[in-house]
Structure 1
Amino acid sequence: MLMKLRATKQIYDLVVSKIEFREKSGVLHDDTLQMLLDSEADHFMIVGFIMGLLIAGARSTGTTASWLITFLGCHPEWRTKARTEVQSLLASHSYPITSSFAPSAASPLSSIPLAAWESSAPILDALIRETLRIAQPHVAMRRNQGPPITIGGKTLPTGGFAIYPFSDVHLNAELYPDPLTFDPARPVQKDDFAYIGWGGGRVNCLGTRLAKLEMKLIAAMFLLNFEFHIVDAEGSPADPHPQPNWNDTLMCKPANGSFFLDYKRREDASL
Protein backbone atom coordinates (compact mmCIF):
# COMPACT_ATOMS: atom_id res chain seq x y z
CA MET A 1 0.00 0.00 0.00
CA LEU A 2 2.84 2.38 0.89
CA MET A 3 4.65 1.58 -2.36
CA LYS A 4 1.52 2.38 -4.35
CA LEU A 5 1.05 5.60 -2.40
CA ARG A 6 4.64 6.62 -3.09
CA ALA A 7 4.33 5.79 -6.80
CA THR A 8 1.10 7.81 -7.06
CA LYS A 9 2.82 10.80 -5.42
CA GLN A 10 5.71 10.50 -7.89
CA ILE A 11 3.31 10.59 -10.84
CA TYR A 12 1.48 13.53 -9.26
CA ASP A 13 4.73 15.48 -8.83
CA LEU A 14 5.79 14.69 -12.41
CA VAL A 15 2.53 15.99 -13.89
CA VAL A 16 2.55 19.08 -11.65
CA SER A 17 6.09 19.91 -12.78
CA LYS A 18 4.93 19.84 -16.41
CA ILE A 19 1.94 22.05 -15.57
CA GLU A 20 4.15 24.59 -13.80
CA PHE A 21 6.65 24.58 -16.66
CA ARG A 22 3.83 25.31 -19.13
CA GLU A 23 2.49 28.13 -16.96
CA LYS A 24 5.92 29.76 -16.54
CA SER A 25 6.82 29.44 -20.23
CA GLY A 26 3.88 31.56 -21.34
CA VAL A 27 3.75 29.59 -24.59
CA LEU A 28 0.26 28.59 -25.71
CA HIS A 29 -0.39 25.13 -27.14
CA ASP A 30 -3.36 23.57 -28.89
CA ASP A 31 -3.86 20.63 -26.53
CA THR A 32 -5.93 19.37 -23.62
CA LEU A 33 -3.62 20.76 -20.95
CA GLN A 34 -3.96 24.27 -22.42
CA MET A 35 -7.75 23.94 -22.45
CA LEU A 36 -7.73 22.99 -18.76
CA LEU A 37 -5.41 25.85 -17.88
CA ASP A 38 -7.50 28.34 -19.85
CA SER A 39 -10.57 27.22 -17.90
CA GLU A 40 -8.65 28.04 -14.68
CA ALA A 41 -8.85 24.47 -13.41
CA ASP A 42 -6.69 23.89 -10.34
CA HIS A 43 -3.66 21.58 -10.36
CA PHE A 44 -5.41 18.81 -8.43
CA MET A 45 -8.23 18.59 -11.01
CA ILE A 46 -5.82 18.68 -13.96
CA VAL A 47 -3.62 15.94 -12.49
CA GLY A 48 -6.69 13.83 -11.71
CA PHE A 49 -7.90 14.18 -15.29
CA ILE A 50 -4.55 13.23 -16.81
CA MET A 51 -3.99 10.28 -14.48
CA GLY A 52 -7.53 9.08 -15.05
CA LEU A 53 -6.99 9.22 -18.80
CA LEU A 54 -3.81 7.14 -18.54
CA ILE A 55 -5.45 4.54 -16.31
CA ALA A 56 -8.57 4.35 -18.51
CA GLY A 57 -6.45 3.72 -21.59
CA ALA A 58 -4.43 0.98 -19.91
CA ARG A 59 -7.56 -0.71 -18.56
CA SER A 60 -9.43 -0.64 -21.87
CA THR A 61 -6.49 -1.88 -23.94
CA GLY A 62 -5.66 -4.64 -21.47
CA THR A 63 -9.26 -5.82 -21.22
CA THR A 64 -9.73 -5.83 -24.99
CA ALA A 65 -6.45 -7.68 -25.54
CA SER A 66 -7.49 -10.32 -22.99
CA TRP A 67 -10.80 -10.86 -24.75
CA LEU A 68 -9.05 -10.91 -28.13
CA ILE A 69 -6.87 -13.82 -26.99
CA THR A 70 -9.93 -15.47 -25.45
CA PHE A 71 -11.91 -15.31 -28.69
CA LEU A 72 -8.92 -16.57 -30.68
CA GLY A 73 -8.70 -19.45 -28.20
CA CYS A 74 -12.30 -20.36 -29.01
CA HIS A 75 -12.06 -20.15 -32.80
CA PRO A 76 -9.26 -22.20 -34.40
CA GLU A 77 -10.14 -21.01 -37.91
CA TRP A 78 -9.49 -17.39 -36.94
CA ARG A 79 -6.30 -18.37 -35.09
CA THR A 80 -5.01 -19.93 -38.31
CA LYS A 81 -5.98 -16.91 -40.42
CA ALA A 82 -4.42 -14.44 -37.99
CA ARG A 83 -1.20 -16.49 -37.60
CA THR A 84 -0.85 -16.73 -41.39
CA GLU A 85 -1.28 -12.97 -41.69
CA VAL A 86 1.42 -12.27 -39.09
CA GLN A 87 3.78 -14.74 -40.72
CA SER A 88 3.18 -13.02 -44.05
CA LEU A 89 4.05 -9.65 -42.52
CA LEU A 90 7.24 -11.10 -41.07
CA ALA A 91 8.22 -12.66 -44.37
CA SER A 92 7.72 -9.35 -46.14
CA HIS A 93 9.51 -7.08 -43.69
CA SER A 94 11.84 -8.97 -41.33
CA TYR A 95 15.55 -8.23 -41.55
CA PRO A 96 18.10 -11.07 -41.88
CA ILE A 97 19.56 -12.36 -38.60
CA THR A 98 23.35 -12.60 -38.52
CA SER A 99 25.56 -14.52 -36.12
CA SER A 100 26.99 -11.26 -34.78
CA PHE A 101 23.58 -9.93 -33.75
CA ALA A 102 21.33 -11.72 -31.30
CA PRO A 103 17.88 -10.09 -31.54
CA SER A 104 15.53 -9.74 -28.60
CA ALA A 105 12.27 -11.69 -28.65
CA ALA A 106 10.37 -8.77 -30.16
CA SER A 107 12.98 -7.72 -32.74
CA PRO A 108 11.41 -9.53 -35.74
CA LEU A 109 8.02 -7.93 -35.03
CA SER A 110 9.59 -4.51 -34.46
CA SER A 111 11.07 -4.70 -37.96
CA ILE A 112 7.55 -4.50 -39.42
CA PRO A 113 6.86 -0.79 -40.14
CA LEU A 114 3.89 0.96 -38.60
CA ALA A 115 2.33 1.49 -42.02
CA ALA A 116 2.25 -2.28 -42.59
CA TRP A 117 0.60 -2.96 -39.22
CA GLU A 118 -2.04 -0.33 -40.02
CA SER A 119 -2.75 -1.12 -43.67
CA SER A 120 -1.73 -4.74 -44.27
CA ALA A 121 -3.38 -6.61 -41.39
CA PRO A 122 -7.11 -6.81 -42.29
CA ILE A 123 -7.62 -10.04 -40.33
CA LEU A 124 -6.27 -8.54 -37.11
CA ASP A 125 -8.31 -5.37 -37.77
CA ALA A 126 -11.50 -7.41 -38.12
CA LEU A 127 -10.71 -9.39 -34.95
CA ILE A 128 -10.12 -6.24 -32.92
CA ARG A 129 -13.23 -4.57 -34.29
CA GLU A 130 -15.46 -7.51 -33.37
CA THR A 131 -13.81 -7.86 -29.95
CA LEU A 132 -14.54 -4.22 -29.17
CA ARG A 133 -18.13 -4.61 -30.34
CA ILE A 134 -18.91 -7.61 -28.21
CA ALA A 135 -16.72 -7.21 -25.12
CA GLN A 136 -16.44 -3.53 -24.23
CA PRO A 137 -19.38 -2.37 -22.04
CA HIS A 138 -18.58 1.31 -22.43
CA VAL A 139 -20.98 4.13 -21.65
CA ALA A 140 -20.65 7.56 -23.26
CA MET A 141 -21.37 10.46 -20.91
CA ARG A 142 -21.62 14.09 -21.97
CA ARG A 143 -22.56 17.16 -19.95
CA ASN A 144 -24.89 19.74 -21.44
CA GLN A 145 -23.22 23.13 -21.14
CA GLY A 146 -26.46 24.86 -22.12
CA PRO A 147 -29.05 25.79 -23.14
CA PRO A 148 -31.56 23.05 -22.20
CA ILE A 149 -32.20 20.63 -25.06
CA THR A 150 -34.80 17.94 -25.75
CA ILE A 151 -33.68 14.43 -26.75
CA GLY A 152 -36.20 11.65 -27.32
CA GLY A 153 -38.93 13.54 -25.54
CA LYS A 154 -36.76 14.19 -22.47
CA THR A 155 -35.44 17.60 -21.52
CA LEU A 156 -31.77 17.75 -20.60
CA PRO A 157 -31.20 20.86 -18.45
CA THR A 158 -28.06 22.96 -18.47
CA GLY A 159 -25.48 21.11 -16.39
CA GLY A 160 -27.26 17.78 -16.80
CA PHE A 161 -25.63 14.63 -18.18
CA ALA A 162 -26.66 12.52 -21.16
CA ILE A 163 -25.75 8.82 -20.84
CA TYR A 164 -25.53 6.45 -23.79
CA PRO A 165 -24.65 2.76 -23.32
CA PHE A 166 -22.74 1.26 -26.26
CA SER A 167 -24.88 -1.88 -25.94
CA ASP A 168 -27.78 0.06 -27.51
CA VAL A 169 -26.01 -0.18 -30.84
CA HIS A 170 -23.39 -2.94 -30.49
CA LEU A 171 -25.88 -5.55 -29.27
CA ASN A 172 -28.68 -4.41 -31.56
CA ALA A 173 -29.93 -7.53 -33.36
CA GLU A 174 -31.19 -5.43 -36.29
CA LEU A 175 -27.64 -4.26 -36.98
CA TYR A 176 -25.81 -7.39 -35.81
CA PRO A 177 -27.86 -10.61 -36.11
CA ASP A 178 -27.18 -12.95 -33.18
CA PRO A 179 -25.22 -10.09 -31.59
CA LEU A 180 -23.42 -12.09 -28.87
CA THR A 181 -21.86 -14.43 -31.44
CA PHE A 182 -18.23 -13.62 -32.24
CA ASP A 183 -18.07 -13.21 -36.02
CA PRO A 184 -15.26 -10.99 -37.42
CA ALA A 185 -16.58 -11.65 -40.94
CA ARG A 186 -19.67 -9.52 -40.29
CA PRO A 187 -20.13 -6.83 -42.96
CA VAL A 188 -18.97 -3.38 -41.86
CA GLN A 189 -21.93 -1.13 -41.13
CA LYS A 190 -22.15 1.94 -43.35
CA ASP A 191 -23.87 4.19 -40.78
CA ASP A 192 -21.30 6.24 -38.84
CA PHE A 193 -23.03 5.47 -35.54
CA ALA A 194 -23.76 1.79 -36.13
CA TYR A 195 -20.32 1.08 -34.65
CA ILE A 196 -18.80 3.25 -31.93
CA GLY A 197 -15.97 1.07 -30.63
CA TRP A 198 -13.58 4.01 -30.77
CA GLY A 199 -16.18 6.70 -30.13
CA GLY A 200 -18.22 8.69 -32.61
CA GLY A 201 -19.04 12.14 -33.87
CA ARG A 202 -16.65 14.79 -32.56
CA VAL A 203 -15.39 12.59 -29.73
CA ASN A 204 -13.10 9.74 -30.72
CA CYS A 205 -10.37 7.91 -28.81
CA LEU A 206 -7.09 9.78 -29.25
CA GLY A 207 -5.16 6.60 -28.49
CA THR A 208 -6.77 4.47 -31.21
CA ARG A 209 -3.61 3.93 -33.28
CA LEU A 210 -1.48 3.09 -30.25
CA ALA A 211 -4.13 0.75 -28.79
CA LYS A 212 -4.55 -1.12 -32.08
CA LEU A 213 -0.80 -1.55 -32.46
CA GLU A 214 -0.46 -2.83 -28.88
CA MET A 215 -3.24 -5.39 -29.38
CA LYS A 216 -1.81 -6.55 -32.71
CA LEU A 217 1.63 -7.07 -31.16
CA ILE A 218 0.18 -8.99 -28.20
CA ALA A 219 -1.86 -11.20 -30.52
CA ALA A 220 1.10 -11.72 -32.87
CA MET A 221 3.45 -12.84 -30.09
CA PHE A 222 0.83 -15.23 -28.72
CA LEU A 223 0.01 -16.67 -32.13
CA LEU A 224 3.65 -17.19 -33.12
CA ASN A 225 4.75 -18.69 -29.81
CA PHE A 226 1.85 -20.76 -28.52
CA GLU A 227 -0.87 -23.21 -29.35
CA PHE A 228 -3.77 -22.23 -27.11
CA HIS A 229 -7.46 -22.75 -26.59
CA ILE A 230 -10.11 -21.98 -23.97
CA VAL A 231 -11.14 -24.73 -21.55
CA ASP A 232 -13.69 -25.02 -18.76
CA ALA A 233 -13.00 -25.70 -15.08
CA GLU A 234 -12.48 -29.43 -15.85
CA GLY A 235 -9.95 -28.74 -18.61
CA SER A 236 -12.31 -29.71 -21.43
CA PRO A 237 -12.77 -27.48 -24.49
CA ALA A 238 -15.16 -24.71 -23.51
CA ASP A 239 -18.70 -25.47 -24.65
CA PRO A 240 -20.40 -23.05 -24.70
CA HIS A 241 -17.74 -20.41 -25.22
CA PRO A 242 -17.32 -17.72 -22.54
CA GLN A 243 -19.73 -14.84 -22.97
CA PRO A 244 -18.82 -11.27 -22.01
CA ASN A 245 -20.71 -10.12 -18.94
CA TRP A 246 -22.01 -6.65 -19.77
CA ASN A 247 -22.93 -6.08 -16.13
CA ASP A 248 -19.21 -6.05 -15.32
CA THR A 249 -18.52 -2.51 -16.51
CA LEU A 250 -14.74 -2.73 -16.02
CA MET A 251 -13.65 -6.04 -17.53
CA CYS A 252 -16.81 -7.66 -18.90
CA LYS A 253 -15.46 -11.00 -17.67
CA PRO A 254 -17.46 -14.13 -16.80
CA ALA A 255 -17.45 -15.61 -13.32
CA ASN A 256 -14.02 -16.37 -11.86
CA GLY A 257 -12.94 -19.98 -12.33
CA SER A 258 -15.42 -20.75 -15.12
CA PHE A 259 -12.93 -20.58 -18.01
CA PHE A 260 -9.17 -20.87 -18.46
CA LEU A 261 -6.55 -20.44 -21.19
CA ASP A 262 -4.74 -23.71 -21.93
CA TYR A 263 -1.51 -23.05 -23.81
CA LYS A 264 1.80 -24.66 -24.72
CA ARG A 265 4.80 -23.44 -26.69
CA ARG A 266 4.73 -24.24 -30.39
CA GLU A 267 7.51 -26.50 -31.64
CA ASP A 268 8.22 -23.98 -34.41
CA ALA A 269 7.88 -20.94 -32.14
CA SER A 270 9.02 -17.95 -34.17
CA LEU A 271 10.01 -15.66 -31.31
Structure 2
Amino acid sequence: MIDPFVDLYSLVFRLTIRVGGCREIADSVGQCKKMEELFWAIDQGATPTAVLFPWFPSPARQKKVKATAEVFDWFDRIIKTRREEGQREDDAMQMLLDMDHSTADVIEFVLFVLFAGIINTGLMSAWLFIFLDQEPEWRDKVVAELDAIIDQHAPASGSYASLAERFSSVPPSAWENELPVLDDCIRETIRRVLSTAMLRRVTDGDIQIAGKTVPNGTFLAYSAADTHNDPTIFPNPRKQVACQ
Protein backbone atom coordinates (compact mmCIF):
# COMPACT_ATOMS: atom_id res chain seq x y z
CA MET A 1 0.00 0.00 0.00
CA ILE A 2 1.19 3.51 -0.81
CA ASP A 3 -0.11 6.98 -0.13
CA PRO A 4 0.02 8.70 -3.55
CA PHE A 5 0.14 12.14 -1.97
CA VAL A 6 3.20 11.21 0.10
CA ASP A 7 5.12 8.52 -1.74
CA LEU A 8 4.65 9.85 -5.27
CA TYR A 9 5.51 13.40 -4.26
CA SER A 10 8.75 12.13 -2.73
CA LEU A 11 9.49 10.10 -5.86
CA VAL A 12 8.84 13.08 -8.14
CA PHE A 13 11.04 15.24 -5.91
CA ARG A 14 13.94 12.78 -6.17
CA LEU A 15 13.55 12.54 -9.94
CA THR A 16 13.43 16.32 -10.29
CA ILE A 17 16.47 16.99 -8.11
CA ARG A 18 18.27 14.32 -10.14
CA VAL A 19 17.41 16.03 -13.43
CA GLY A 20 17.81 19.67 -12.49
CA GLY A 21 19.87 19.67 -9.31
CA CYS A 22 23.06 18.06 -8.03
CA ARG A 23 24.26 14.55 -7.28
CA GLU A 24 25.36 15.43 -3.74
CA ILE A 25 21.68 15.56 -2.83
CA ALA A 26 20.15 13.26 -5.45
CA ASP A 27 22.35 10.29 -4.47
CA SER A 28 21.21 10.35 -0.84
CA VAL A 29 17.67 9.48 0.26
CA GLY A 30 18.25 11.31 3.55
CA GLN A 31 19.52 14.46 1.86
CA CYS A 32 16.60 14.39 -0.57
CA LYS A 33 14.16 14.13 2.33
CA LYS A 34 15.75 17.07 4.12
CA MET A 35 15.70 19.18 0.96
CA GLU A 36 12.09 18.16 0.33
CA GLU A 37 11.09 19.42 3.79
CA LEU A 38 12.71 22.78 3.08
CA PHE A 39 11.04 22.91 -0.31
CA TRP A 40 7.57 22.43 1.17
CA ALA A 41 8.28 25.05 3.83
CA ILE A 42 8.98 27.50 1.00
CA ASP A 43 5.90 26.42 -0.94
CA GLN A 44 3.59 26.67 2.08
CA GLY A 45 4.72 30.24 2.59
CA ALA A 46 2.82 31.23 -0.56
CA THR A 47 -0.45 31.78 1.32
CA PRO A 48 -3.25 34.07 0.11
CA THR A 49 -2.14 36.59 2.71
CA ALA A 50 1.44 36.47 1.43
CA VAL A 51 0.25 37.00 -2.14
CA LEU A 52 -2.02 39.94 -1.35
CA PHE A 53 0.20 41.48 1.36
CA PRO A 54 3.78 40.40 0.60
CA TRP A 55 5.15 42.88 3.14
CA PHE A 56 3.23 41.34 6.09
CA PRO A 57 5.56 39.27 8.35
CA SER A 58 3.19 36.33 8.88
CA PRO A 59 4.48 33.07 10.46
CA ALA A 60 4.23 31.33 7.07
CA ARG A 61 6.31 34.06 5.43
CA GLN A 62 8.94 33.90 8.15
CA LYS A 63 9.25 30.12 7.70
CA LYS A 64 9.51 30.63 3.95
CA VAL A 65 12.32 33.18 4.33
CA LYS A 66 14.19 30.90 6.76
CA ALA A 67 13.82 27.83 4.51
CA THR A 68 14.86 29.80 1.42
CA ALA A 69 18.03 30.95 3.19
CA GLU A 70 18.83 27.37 4.24
CA VAL A 71 18.39 26.09 0.68
CA PHE A 72 20.57 28.87 -0.73
CA ASP A 73 23.31 28.22 1.84
CA TRP A 74 23.17 24.46 1.14
CA PHE A 75 23.61 24.86 -2.61
CA ASP A 76 26.21 27.58 -2.04
CA ARG A 77 28.34 25.18 0.04
CA ILE A 78 28.12 22.51 -2.67
CA ILE A 79 29.17 24.98 -5.37
CA LYS A 80 32.08 26.30 -3.27
CA THR A 81 33.32 22.76 -2.62
CA ARG A 82 33.29 21.95 -6.32
CA ARG A 83 35.11 25.14 -7.27
CA GLU A 84 37.71 25.01 -4.50
CA GLU A 85 38.48 21.28 -4.72
CA GLY A 86 38.05 20.88 -8.46
CA GLN A 87 35.30 18.34 -7.89
CA ARG A 88 33.18 17.51 -10.93
CA GLU A 89 29.87 15.67 -11.25
CA ASP A 90 27.69 14.66 -14.16
CA ASP A 91 24.62 16.79 -13.44
CA ALA A 92 22.80 19.98 -14.39
CA MET A 93 24.58 22.06 -11.77
CA GLN A 94 27.97 21.14 -13.22
CA MET A 95 26.84 22.13 -16.70
CA LEU A 96 25.91 25.59 -15.44
CA LEU A 97 29.19 25.93 -13.55
CA ASP A 98 31.13 24.94 -16.66
CA MET A 99 29.33 27.74 -18.50
CA ASP A 100 30.68 30.22 -15.88
CA HIS A 101 27.29 31.14 -14.45
CA SER A 102 27.33 32.89 -11.09
CA THR A 103 26.41 31.08 -7.89
CA ALA A 104 23.18 33.08 -7.65
CA ASP A 105 22.20 32.19 -11.22
CA VAL A 106 22.90 28.49 -10.66
CA ILE A 107 20.84 28.36 -7.48
CA GLU A 108 18.04 30.35 -9.10
CA PHE A 109 17.90 27.84 -11.95
CA VAL A 110 17.82 24.83 -9.61
CA LEU A 111 15.02 26.34 -7.52
CA PHE A 112 13.08 27.22 -10.67
CA VAL A 113 13.34 23.61 -11.88
CA LEU A 114 12.22 22.29 -8.50
CA PHE A 115 9.13 24.49 -8.32
CA ALA A 116 8.27 23.96 -11.98
CA GLY A 117 8.76 20.22 -11.84
CA ILE A 118 7.47 19.06 -8.47
CA ILE A 119 4.19 20.66 -7.44
CA ASN A 120 2.07 20.10 -10.55
CA THR A 121 3.84 16.88 -11.56
CA GLY A 122 3.46 15.39 -8.08
CA LEU A 123 -0.19 16.39 -7.87
CA MET A 124 -1.09 15.01 -11.29
CA SER A 125 0.89 11.82 -10.72
CA ALA A 126 -0.98 11.12 -7.49
CA TRP A 127 -4.40 11.73 -9.01
CA LEU A 128 -3.49 9.77 -12.15
CA PHE A 129 -2.83 6.69 -10.01
CA ILE A 130 -6.13 7.16 -8.19
CA PHE A 131 -8.22 7.74 -11.32
CA LEU A 132 -6.67 4.80 -13.19
CA ASP A 133 -7.35 2.56 -10.20
CA GLN A 134 -11.03 3.50 -10.56
CA GLU A 135 -11.04 2.78 -14.30
CA PRO A 136 -9.61 -0.74 -14.93
CA GLU A 137 -10.15 -0.47 -18.68
CA TRP A 138 -7.85 2.54 -19.05
CA ARG A 139 -5.43 1.24 -16.43
CA ASP A 140 -4.96 -1.98 -18.41
CA LYS A 141 -4.42 0.01 -21.62
CA VAL A 142 -1.74 2.13 -19.98
CA VAL A 143 0.02 -0.94 -18.55
CA ALA A 144 -0.08 -2.65 -21.96
CA GLU A 145 1.35 0.46 -23.60
CA LEU A 146 4.22 0.62 -21.10
CA ASP A 147 4.91 -3.10 -21.54
CA ALA A 148 5.05 -2.61 -25.30
CA ILE A 149 7.45 0.32 -25.21
CA ILE A 150 9.87 -1.39 -22.85
CA ASP A 151 9.75 -4.67 -24.81
CA GLN A 152 10.52 -2.77 -28.01
CA HIS A 153 13.39 -0.63 -26.76
CA ALA A 154 14.78 -2.75 -23.90
CA PRO A 155 13.68 -6.39 -24.36
CA ALA A 156 13.95 -8.79 -21.43
CA SER A 157 16.40 -10.86 -23.46
CA GLY A 158 18.96 -8.07 -23.12
CA SER A 159 21.64 -7.87 -20.44
CA TYR A 160 19.78 -5.65 -17.98
CA ALA A 161 20.31 -5.90 -14.24
CA SER A 162 16.84 -4.69 -13.29
CA LEU A 163 13.52 -3.40 -14.58
CA ALA A 164 14.65 0.11 -13.67
CA GLU A 165 17.65 -0.28 -15.97
CA ARG A 166 15.36 -1.37 -18.79
CA PHE A 167 13.18 1.70 -18.31
CA SER A 168 16.24 3.96 -18.25
CA SER A 169 17.31 2.48 -21.60
CA VAL A 170 14.17 3.70 -23.37
CA PRO A 171 15.15 6.80 -25.42
CA PRO A 172 13.52 10.17 -24.66
CA SER A 173 11.91 10.26 -28.11
CA ALA A 174 9.99 7.09 -27.28
CA TRP A 175 8.72 8.50 -23.99
CA GLU A 176 7.56 11.62 -25.80
CA ASN A 177 5.98 10.06 -28.90
CA GLU A 178 5.03 6.44 -28.24
CA LEU A 179 2.64 6.66 -25.28
CA PRO A 180 -0.58 8.17 -26.72
CA VAL A 181 -2.90 6.47 -24.21
CA LEU A 182 -0.88 7.63 -21.22
CA ASP A 183 -0.71 11.14 -22.71
CA ASP A 184 -4.50 11.22 -23.03
CA CYS A 185 -4.91 9.96 -19.46
CA ILE A 186 -2.61 12.70 -18.18
CA ARG A 187 -4.59 15.35 -20.07
CA GLU A 188 -7.82 13.95 -18.65
CA THR A 189 -6.37 14.02 -15.15
CA ILE A 190 -5.37 17.66 -15.59
CA ARG A 191 -8.91 18.47 -16.75
CA ARG A 192 -10.49 16.85 -13.70
CA VAL A 193 -8.07 18.19 -11.12
CA LEU A 194 -7.73 21.76 -12.40
CA SER A 195 -11.35 22.70 -11.83
CA THR A 196 -10.53 25.58 -9.55
CA ALA A 197 -10.53 29.35 -9.78
CA MET A 198 -7.80 30.85 -11.95
CA LEU A 199 -6.60 34.26 -10.81
CA ARG A 200 -4.96 37.06 -12.70
CA ARG A 201 -4.21 40.65 -11.87
CA VAL A 202 -4.32 43.16 -14.70
CA THR A 203 -1.03 45.06 -14.63
CA ASP A 204 -0.49 46.24 -18.20
CA GLY A 205 -3.27 48.82 -18.49
CA ASP A 206 -7.04 48.74 -18.84
CA ILE A 207 -8.44 45.88 -20.94
CA GLN A 208 -11.76 45.20 -22.64
CA ILE A 209 -13.66 41.99 -21.82
CA ALA A 210 -17.11 41.35 -23.28
CA GLY A 211 -17.58 45.05 -23.97
CA LYS A 212 -16.65 46.12 -20.44
CA THR A 213 -13.56 47.97 -19.30
CA VAL A 214 -11.50 46.25 -16.63
CA PRO A 215 -9.31 48.85 -14.89
CA ASN A 216 -5.60 48.34 -14.44
CA GLY A 217 -4.80 46.66 -11.11
CA THR A 218 -8.03 44.64 -11.02
CA PHE A 219 -7.99 41.03 -9.82
CA LEU A 220 -9.82 38.67 -12.19
CA ALA A 221 -11.07 35.16 -11.42
CA TYR A 222 -12.35 32.48 -13.76
CA SER A 223 -13.75 29.12 -12.72
CA ALA A 224 -12.14 26.42 -14.85
CA ALA A 225 -14.85 24.04 -13.63
CA ASP A 226 -17.36 25.84 -15.87
CA THR A 227 -15.43 24.57 -18.89
CA HIS A 228 -13.90 21.35 -17.58
CA ASN A 229 -17.28 20.04 -16.36
CA ASP A 230 -19.33 21.20 -19.35
CA PRO A 231 -21.13 18.11 -20.76
CA THR A 232 -21.39 19.77 -24.17
CA ILE A 233 -17.58 19.66 -24.35
CA PHE A 234 -16.85 16.55 -22.28
CA PRO A 235 -19.68 13.97 -22.54
CA ASN A 236 -18.79 12.38 -19.18
CA PRO A 237 -17.23 15.23 -17.20
CA ARG A 238 -17.17 13.34 -13.88
CA LYS A 239 -15.60 10.22 -15.35
CA GLN A 240 -12.01 9.45 -16.34
CA VAL A 241 -12.42 8.84 -20.08
CA ALA A 242 -9.11 9.41 -21.83
CA CYS A 243 -10.57 9.54 -25.33
CA GLN A 244 -12.75 12.56 -24.56
Q: TM-score, normalised by structure 2?
A: 0.53
Query: Any gaps of 5 or more consecutive residues in structure 2?
Result: 1-33, 39-62, 78-98
CA contact (8 A) 1:146 1:157 kept: no
CA contact (8 A) 2:195 2:228 kept: no
Aligned residues: 156
Match of 2:161 in 1: 102
1:74-132 deviation per Cα after TM superposition (whole angstroms, max 9, x unaligned): 1111121111111110111006543xx634x4211111111111111111011111111
Match of 2:206 in 1: 148
Match of 1:67 in 2: 127
Residues 1:168 and 2:222 are matched in the alignment? no
CA contact (8 A) 2:135 2:240 kept: no
| Greater strand proportion | 1
CA contact (8 A) 1:149 1:157 kept: yes
Structure 1 CA distance, aligned partners of 2:214 and 2:173? 43
Match of 1:180 in 2: 238
1:198-227 deviation per Cα after TM superposition (whole angstroms, max 9, x unaligned): xxxxxxxxxxxxxxxxxxxxxxxxxxxxxx
Q: 1:85 aligns with which of 142, 145, 151?
A: 145
Structure 2 CA distance, aligned partners of 1:52 and 1:139? 24
Query: 1:190-269 counterparts in 2 under 5 A?
Result: none
Q: Which moved more, 1:138-147 or 1:76-85?
A: 138-147
1:155-214 deviation per Cα after TM superposition (whole angstroms, max 9, x unaligned): 32112232223222211222112311211121xxxxxxxxxxxxxxxxxxxxxxxxxxxx
Query: 1:16-31 counterparts in 2 under 5 A?
Result: none
Report the AA paired with residue 138 of structure 2.
W
CA 1:50/1:147 → structure 2, altered by over 3 Å: closer, same or farther? Answer: farther
Structure 2 CA distance, aligned partners of 1:79 and 1:175? 23
Structure 2 CA distance, aligned partners of 1:56 and 1:164? 22
CA contact (8 A) 2:201 2:219 kept: yes
Query: Any gaps of 5 or more consecutive residues in structure 1?
Result: 18-26, 34-45, 187-271
Structure 1 CA distance, aligned partners of 2:110 and 2:151? 40
Give 1:147 shift: 2.6
CA contact (8 A) 2:198 2:222 kept: yes
Q: 1:114 aligns with which of 172, 186, 203?
A: 172
Match of 1:130 in 2: 188
Structure 1 CA distance, aligned partners of 2:69 and 2:189? 35
Structure 1 CA distance, aligned partners of 2:240 and 2:202? 36
Percent sequence identity is: 34
Q: TM-score, normalised by structure 1?
A: 0.48
How large is the Cα RMSD of the aligned pairs? 3.5
CA contact (8 A) 1:150 1:156 kept: yes
